[in-house]
């Protein structure tokens, strides 16, 4: 299933995408696409609904973030060896963990504001993992049982704040709008192997990232298990799993970064695509 949330910010309705690409209103059946429905039983109840019985939402719609009520937005850095190399950093022995504040989450096609004073706003296409069942100290073999589905994420990053302001990565990762999520969450059963998904990103129509989750250093199962050793992952939490090479920081012969008016488009196989225009702060 493809589950999404559509409508104006703060007033999104839960919906599903039918086999023909139509948007079907789920609000008569569930309050939202959140932790309350992302467990196996909740998803089974939604899957049992005939999409043709649901009202069709016609016309242009805004997609909100595909998951509501996220309490923890956890990120993994340097999870592709070639991206670590372009960042001039060693390949990690264990996952590099940081946070994206939940206040950065926004719809996949909403404009992104470049923070005032930013000189190094960058892009990163990433595979997002949505937790469906509470996970604490789970082993790798059972880790994927705790995953509800997957989505596209642009891990927008301000590199100066990330790398040059005290080495606390979180500071460059959580500005408002720095977490476009969606357009929909595709359930794990429909995605299949999360380590076999191609991904791409373009800036103003120029392809700068081409990659595949098959080249991740740490797999989704390894990441979920690893994180659960140190924290309790809750239904509705999101993990963003790292980016392949081609970010602005790694451009040759010298880095280049986003400016007002730039348009970023990105997507992942089976999971859809996003589009953001980057705008100046007021």
What pLDDT was estimated at residue 108?
A: 98
Question: What is the reported pTM?
Answer: 0.96
What pLDDT was estimated at residue 94?
A: 95
What pLDDT was estimated at residue 13?
A: 97
φ, ψ of residue 245 to 5 degrees: the values are -65, 165
Residues of the chain with CATH 3.90.850.10: 73-280
| CA angle at 201 for the pair 197 and 203, rounded to the nearest 5° | 175
What pLDDT was estimated at residue 122?
A: 98
CATH node for 73-280: 3.90.850.10
Which residue in the block uniquely carries the two structure tokens 């996970």? 135
What pLDDT was estimated at residue 178?
A: 98
What pLDDT was estimated at residue 165?
A: 84
Cα separation, 202 vs 154, in Å, equals: 12
What pLDDT was estimated at residue 48?
A: 97
What pLDDT was estimated at residue 120?
A: 97
What pLDDT was estimated at residue 245?
A: 92
What pLDDT was estimated at residue 31?
A: 97
Regions of the chain with pLDDT less than 50: none
pLDDT per residue as tens digits for the range 179-209: 999 999 999 999 999 999 999 999 999 999 9
Cα separation, 117 vs 194, in Å, equals: 37
Bond into 129 cis (ω within 30): no
What pLDDT was estimated at residue 84?
A: 78
């Amino acid at each position: 299933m493809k589950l999404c949330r559509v409508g104006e910010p703060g007033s999104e309705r839960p919906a599903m995408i039918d086999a023909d690409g139509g948007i079907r209103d789920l609000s008569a059946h569930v309050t939202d696409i959140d932790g309350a429905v992302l467990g196996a039983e909740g998803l089974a109840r939604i899957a049992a609904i005939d999409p043709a019985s649901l009202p069709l939402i016609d016309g242009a719609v805004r997609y909100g973030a595909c998951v509501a009520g996220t309490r923890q937005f956890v990120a993994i850095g340097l999870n592709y060896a070639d991206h670590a190399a372009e960042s001039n950093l060693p390949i990690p022995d264990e996952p590099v963990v940081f946070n994206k504040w939940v206040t950065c989450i926004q719809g996949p096609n909403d404009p992104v504001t470049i923070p005032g004073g930013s000189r190094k706003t960058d892009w990163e296409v990433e595979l997002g993992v949505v937790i469906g069942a509470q996970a604490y100290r789970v082993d790798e073999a059972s880790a994927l049982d705790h995953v509800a589905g997957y989505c596209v994420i642009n891990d927008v990053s301000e590199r100066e704040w990330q790398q040059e302001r005290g080495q606390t990565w979180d500071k460059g990762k959580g500005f408002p709008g720095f977490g476009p999520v969606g357009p929909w969450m595709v359930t794990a059963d429909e995605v299949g192997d999360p380590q076999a998904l191609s991904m791409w990103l373009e800036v103003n129509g120029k392809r700068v990232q081409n990659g595949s989750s098959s080249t991740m250093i740490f797999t989704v199962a390894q990441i979920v298990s690893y994180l659960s050793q140190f924290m309790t992952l809750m239904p509705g939490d999101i993990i963003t799993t790292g980016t392949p090479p081609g970010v602005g920081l790694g451009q040759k012969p010298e880095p280049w970064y986003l400016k007002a008016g730039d348009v970023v488009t990105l997507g992942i196989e089976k999971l859809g695509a996003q589009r953001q225009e980057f705008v100046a702060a007021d």
